[in-house]
Chains A and B, each alone.
Chain A
């Protein structure tokens, strides 16, 4: 099989890159394990939320101050605004309706009721532009009885601390009660699947209409819409109050929805999404990667002119740490990581942890190297890159999308 570009990894960065290339007529294959860290995404994209513990309000200005090792610096701080605009357009083309702008962060509300800076948020999810001017005063927080993956007590407290008047209202419907008999069904993703019928939505709407009282806005856990926001729109049409969703603990429906929509869009553009397969090794010819071997295709290597590594960080096994070292397991690429295990972590859990910034080493063009030799046709994108801490900086999704687009530009150039 011969492709123009083969992308290893089918999460946010791999799909973004694949879409950008397929749109320009390339033959693209994505090798995807089927797991994506979008499963932990509550419905927002972030460019940059924090530097050194200080909250960032204007991400473009803050990005200009990042060190040279940061992926944004590698793709050029001056290019960020244009890349971000393309990313937003790409999401809209995939049918993902998000709001927000590049020059100023807004606030997303986490399952624990914490306001965190964000760049784009799904339009059916709660978003606050200005903490001093809340979009509503009285909030009805609808809590599904027996659903523990929304920590309602903390969420209600957090919302109160932000200045909302919160009434937490427990509710259930006959069919949710039936669902609850099996404890494993009370996950957000199972609820979303179940609520994907009009009858089930009508019963939820009836509860909202009966219980919401004098609230200005009704909040629901994000358990609607596996594939799109149609379920939300249907429920909104039946409910007599404005509705907004709030992220839950994983599996997060909003992130899984975005993953599905991006995948559908990629396929619609003619891309090959090799689901449930993983790359196991590659063949090099001098400073070029000529093919990769996957678990399922076995002795039929995937050949291409260009390759993109989008395998993610430790969570996704794009990086592996063993007893002695940190390494990139598919192609044996050079990594930026401390050699001494003692340096990988810190004693207190909430401190910044060094391992979060580990990743494959790349040149200014996001090209990888192996034993010191730059591989001319292999770019790395997303969380497998070194030089940033997605958890502490709030830049994970932005780095994924923008490095993916920058790599696509480089490939097409």
Chain B
């Protein structure tokens, strides 16, 4: 459908925000038969969804401090293992006690887990060392819990895909500039199309504000006030997967106490700092954050001290201030759903916020229930049982190492589940590898460009992991840029796209630019600037915001 047709329809619901929550809400609404438009100002999963550990919490982390969140987590954890199998790696997790920690806490922790319904088995430190050799060998206690690793990019895309399969429209690079409000009633949104700079209006019966930390700004445009507590967290990605299980510290949640294995890498995090709302768009990681993460990270897994750090990044948790919450109850649960008709006398607007990536589906269900109540829809929610595309019962399993699949095909099945079957592999060129680190083929790139809303290389990276491996896009980014330029019939901008991609990678490398990461940076500069002259060909100043 061409974009102008999308603008000209009137929708049952318009969802603002292309993170996990927005995508999940779009899917839920579409499955219940509503007509849906989702708008996202950047690419999908560019906010907190794409800026966390990739940890599928068992809930154990919250068991002691927030029993309700813990129960939500374990229940969603079990649901996601079924419905999002291709996004999840069932690693299990350890909560370890180090000599500097209080071993008494372990008992408090295990009891709290049991109350929340989370399996928590105390195991011997020797057993912990044997099942997870990367763990600090000095540990004095360990508890095994059903933590897992999850790919939030893949999860969000699967939700968007299913929403579209059920009739939803989705637009990335469309930023909300204001609301159409008529007699105390929201009737639609005013949008900036960032592709061409045009301004449009789209009508909907209900608008859902699912824009995470940016929800305060969005609400302000509708004249209602939400006060958010931006809580910033920084993380480091290491170039190898040193651990096979999630490793947590068994103590009250603190800085840098979780190490998560994700695909070929692992991630340590996070810090946690209150920041002013005006600074939520500044994702630069500071030297102090890096220092804290490293200092604490090596206590969990000592081999991190000698493992290359490939990048640093930060995200902002959308916590909501309690003084503005009329009931006061929502706060303890983390998830906050505000019907602005009841709260502020403004009909047609719902805000869904708080929560975590982990509980995105539940948040989507709550928001969709609120929408359905407004538009008079009685269809039941099925998202807790209906698998996402890619995770159907008969989908090929991850880790199928039989000779039926090539390396690239196996990698693609890991990323797209059953949808990998749609990837062209009929000729030798489609099977050719573009990215050796992550096993991305020409066919997979074609699939992503044609099916997954890919406008540039950074979009492509989020859909396929191209350039996310150890080399951080050293050669594959140029191959992919060239291919993308041909597929999108836009070779002229391929160089600029490539430079913006490398710049985006550099933003994450710079805070940790020493050792092999600095070598890698010099190598990249030698290839793309010295050998290729990319810096002579393009000027990317001020163009970074389309990533």
Contact = CB atoms under 8 A, between A and B. Distances in A.
B482 A152 contact: yes
A154 B530 contact: no
B362 interface: no
B222 to A, nearest CB: 35
A146 B429 CA distance: 6
A321 B522 CA distance: 12
Contact of B529 (A146, A149, A154, A350): A350
Interface stretch (A8-16, A68-76, A276-284, A389-397): A389-397
A153 B486 contact: yes
Contacts of B527: 40, 249-250
B7 interface: no
B434 A348 contact: no
A391 B532 contact: no
A379 to B, nearest CB: 23
B289 to A, nearest CB: 13
Interface in A8-31: none
A329 to B, nearest CB: 12
Contacts of B482: 148, 151-154
Contacts of B403: none
A356 interface: yes
B533 A116 contact: yes
Interface size class of A (residues with CB under 8 A): 35 or more
Given A181-B428, A249-B475, A321-B514, A349 B433 contact: no
Nearest to A157: B491
Interface string B533-547: 111111011000000
A177 to B, nearest CB: 7
B525 interface: yes
Interface string A252-290: 100000000000000000000000000000000000000
A110 B491 contact: no
A390 B491 contact: no
A40 B491 contact: no
B525 A356 contact: yes
Given A151-B482, A350-B503, A355-B518, A396 B530 contact: yes
Nearest to B476: A148
A164 interface: no
* Interface core residue of A153, A341, A356 (most chain B CB under 10 Å): A153
A335 interface: no
B503 A348 contact: yes
A353 interface: yes
Given A341-B514, A350-B503, A110 B533 contact: yes
Interface stretch (A124-132, A206-214, A233-241, A310-318): A310-318
B483 A313 contact: no
A323 B293 CA distance: 13
B139 interface: no
B541 A348 contact: yes
Interface size class of B (residues with CB under 8 A): 35 or more
A392 B495 CA distance: 18
Given A112-B532, A146-B428, A391-B530, A151 B479 contact: yes
Nearest to A181: B428
Interface string B93-126: 0000000000000000000000000000000000
A349 B521 CA distance: 9
B53 to A, nearest CB: 23
Given A111-B531, A183-B436, A250 B475 contact: yes
A114 B537 contact: yes
Interface string A332-362: 0000000001101101111001011000000
Contact of A112 (B479, B486, B515, B533): B533
A158 B532 CA distance: 11
B526 interface: yes
A156 interface: yes
Nearest to B434: A148
* Interface core residue of A177, A186, A350, A353 (most chain B CB under 10 Å): A350
Nearest to A116: B533
* Interface core residue of A151, A247, A320, A323 (most chain B CB under 10 Å): A151
A244 to B, nearest CB: 18
Contacts of A154: 481-482, 485, 491, 494-495
A355 B522 contact: yes
Nearest to B514: A321
Given A154-B491, A355-B522, A180 B478 contact: no
B296 to A, nearest CB: 15
Contacts of A320: 515
A356 B486 contact: no
A19 B522 CA distance: 28
A163 to B, nearest CB: 16
B495 A112 contact: yes
B529 A345 contact: no
Contacts of B533: 110, 112, 114-116
Contacts of B481: 151, 154
B517 to A, nearest CB: 9
A403 interface: no
B115 to A, nearest CB: 43
Contact of B513 (A181, A345, A391): A345
B293 to A, nearest CB: 12
Interface in B493-507: 494-495, 499, 502-503, 506-507
A372 to B, nearest CB: 25
A8 B432 CA distance: 40
A356 to B, nearest CB: 7
Contacts of B530: 40, 390-391, 394, 396
A350 B491 CA distance: 21
Nearest to A50: B536
Nearest to A316: B519
Given A153-B486, A157-B491, A391-B525, A114 B515 contact: no
A322 interface: yes
A344 B534 contact: no
B522 A347 contact: no
B531 A353 contact: no
A183 B433 contact: yes
* Interface core residue of B294, B486, B513, B536 (most chain A CB under 10 Å): B536
A114 B536 contact: yes
A148 B479 contact: yes
Interface string A137-177: 00000000110110111101110000000000000000001
B475 A315 contact: no
B492 interface: yes
Contacts of B485: 153-154
A400 interface: no
B190 interface: no
A37 B526 contact: yes
Given A154-B485, A356-B522, A40 B494 contact: no
Contacts of A146: 428-429, 432
18 contacts: A110-B532, A114-B534, A149-B479, A153-B482, A153-B486, A154-B495, A157-B491, A247-B531, A250-B531, A344-B514, A344-B518, A345-B518, A347-B507, A348-B541, A349-B499, A349-B506, A350-B499, A353-B525
Q: Which 6 A-B pairs have the closest CB atoms?
A: A114-B533, A151-B482, A349-B506, A153-B491, A148-B479, A183-B433
Given A157-B494, A249-B531, A317-B519, 20 more contacts: A40-B531, A112-B534, A116-B536, A146-B428, A146-B429, A146-B432, A148-B479, A152-B482, A183-B433, A313-B522, A315-B522, A322-B514, A344-B514, A345-B518, A347-B284, A349-B503, A350-B538, A350-B540, A356-B525, A390-B526
Interface of A: 37, 40-42, 110-112, 114-116, 145-146, 148-149, 151-154, 156-158, 177, 180-181, 183-184, 186, 247, 249-250, 252, 313-315, 317, 320-323, 341-342, 344-345, 347-350, 353, 355-356, 390-392, 394, 396
